[in-house]
Structure 1
């Protein structure tokens, strides 16, 4: 089978959607010819020059005009792109809230190619915390609606999205993302507690971008109450920061006299990240807003490593964390602190998580059904 995967951004851009493309393409390429079509831009508009050769699939960077985030228009001749798309048996659109992917969807439709569209948190952008952006973001939600109408099948990642997508498509498939095989089998080479002198601490672990929408401020504001019950608790934050938000969080921690109870590690290796998961007592995902988490790979990784999680009621998080599988808190620091305290007092057994190999098998079956 010849599979075209279309996504607005790809490596070296790092994010949940880009990881989805990477791991899905890797698994599918074990049995099929796979080509990823993407822009030659980063979300901020910088042109990408580096290739991506260390993979078993092809990457086609389409020269594009960048107008704004998710608003890129292919600058190459439509007939040239159409000629390439003709060679494929299936077109998989990953992320429908993008002009680039919508362009490819229309081309594929005109060529009568079977289309699977992966939709992330439909209509969540209309609840963006910056209200001034909502009229502009309505355009991208419109693209998603049209994409769901035109695609032969729609894939979603959580139950809430499933119910929403059913209003626009007769063929909606709930297929959550997977976790790489190494996450199941990895044995870290380092002792995380020993390295950071956390031997007798209760580790509350945050693994995500240091960004206001990922909610590190909620965790830090919750720490004073947590420390009153567990004075040995320490918040460990792992993740990149491209906008300097860590400095603000360090000042916030100092304001609450938490400098000895909050540890910022920045970006770490996969080996150290898994060591951190294993050392942690609780994993927290305090993301803010409906659209921030379409699935949450951190949640899956935490469950794979048998950890108790505390999350906010962001759409995908509250959909996935059922009673008895973790704790759902409010967005307020007080509520979040109470949930973390309960999690430290009463850990729970996490549910089973699928590997990317299993997920790719389910996606492959959807492709085959559409091609018939």
Structure 2
């Protein structure tokens, strides 16, 4: 099959959705399919407009952007590529780029698939302006994506429920996966401890350093938790501006208990998870939690998860079954959950082992998608 994936960013941009599209495209190319990615030029630096990486044909088109990545709009459409496709798979209806390309693919006669993400998820955004304007934009894009798609997928049971109840649309659940080698890697905790000279118990955050991710809530919770567990430390892994969080840790007198690593390679990230008591995700908005790959990675390493009950998280993390759920923006409740697992390691082992049962590999996800593509 000739399969085209649509996303406004692709490698060398690194992020959750970018990594997903790359895993799917490369996985399909390895199976002998002709895999393409149509994306914008944003984030590509000096890389060529057309290139092949790991068997995937990449097409970067001229685009313009209105402030936010989702507001990227293509200024050209590679009609010849779209016209001859067997399947065109668009990722995220919140992206202007994706919706426009899917509309064009549909007009040219291609079979179209849209992966819906964070449907109607702007209502709890901290910004009043976004709460006012974004819901209208979101509903517009959902309707356009529904009209232009032959197959509708979700990676969130929250989105499935909303599309069924509010838009009368039936969808299929296809989550994200992980690399199979992650399941069989030896424990890498000692390597991580040696690298960073840490022997104390740890909690770990993995993700972007963004205000919607609640990292300030995590730091405040750590300040509370260390009153009961004074040796506890936090490792914060991911790209973004560290300054406001370093300043907060310093203000709370716990700067020596927070390690910021920035972006790290996979081995260091896995070493941090292996070392940890738990992965902690204190997000404050539905919009940023469509499907947390960090949760899947933690479960793959048999680690429990402590997370805010926002977005898809409460549909996946079941309190006292495979993790602990806390209310968003509640640093006291988060601190109590952290202390619970710091003091009861056996509970953490049970929760992590239960989470491991739900983990799927990218190979399994690619098989599911290829089966869907082949139907109809």
Same fold (TM over 0.5): yes
C-alpha distance in 1 between matches for 2:121 and 2:232: 34
User: What corresponds to 1:144 in structure 2?
Assistant: 142
Q: Does 1:133 align with 2:130?
A: yes
- 1:12-23 equivalence runs, <5 A: 12-23=12-23
1:22 match: secondary structure: helix
2:30 match: secondary structure: coil
User: What corresponds to 1:271 in structure 2?
Assistant: 267
Q: 1:8 and 1:141, CA in 2 relative to 1: closer, same or farther beyond 3 A?
A: farther
C-alpha distance in 1 between matches for 2:73 and 2:235: 41
1:229 match: secondary structure: coil
| Equivalent pair of 1:152/1:171 in contact (CA under 8 Å) | no
- 1:63-212 equivalence runs, <5 A: 63-69=62-68, 70-76=70-76, 78=77, 81-137=78-134, 138-167=136-165, 168=167, 170-187=169-186, 188=188, 191-199=191-199, 201-212=200-211
Deviating more after overlay: 98-107 vs 143-152: 143-152
Give structure 2 stretches of 5+ with no counterpart.
none
Deviating more after overlay: 214-223 vs 336-345: 336-345
Deviating more after overlay: 288-297 vs 177-186: 177-186
User: What corresponds to 2:364 in structure 1?
Assistant: 358
| Equivalent pair of 1:153/1:171 in contact (CA under 8 Å) | no
C-alpha distance in 2 between matches for 1:226 and 1:118: 39
User: What corresponds to 1:336 in structure 2?
Assistant: 334
Deviation, structure 1 residue 127: 2.7
C-alpha distance in 2 between matches for 1:67 and 1:249: 28
User: What corresponds to 1:61 in structure 2?
Assistant: 60
| Equivalent pair of 1:203/1:234 in contact (CA under 8 Å) | yes
Deviation, structure 1 residue 341: 1.6
Deviating more after overlay: 295-304 vs 6-15: 6-15
C-alpha distance in 1 between matches for 2:95 and 2:24: 20
2:256 alignment partner, one of 256, 260, 263: 260
CA RMSD of aligned residues (A): 1.8
Q: 1:299 and 1:215, CA in 2 relative to 1: closer, same or farther beyond 3 A?
A: same
| Equivalent pair of 1:154/1:169 in contact (CA under 8 Å) | no
| Equivalent pair of 1:190/1:272 in contact (CA under 8 Å) | no
Deviation, structure 1 residue 144: 2.0
1:121 match: secondary structure: coil
C-alpha distance in 1 between matches for 2:132 and 2:11: 30
C-alpha distance in 1 between matches for 2:90 and 2:124: 24
| Equivalent pair of 1:189/1:271 in contact (CA under 8 Å) | no
TM-score normalised over the length of structure 1: 0.91
C-alpha distance in 1 between matches for 2:259 and 2:2: 47
Deviation, structure 1 residue 190: 5.9
Q: How many residues align?
A: 359
C-alpha distance in 1 between matches for 2:65 and 2:262: 29
| Equivalent pair of 1:6/1:91 in contact (CA under 8 Å) | yes
Deviation, structure 1 residue 53: 4.3
Deviation, structure 1 residue 233: 0.7
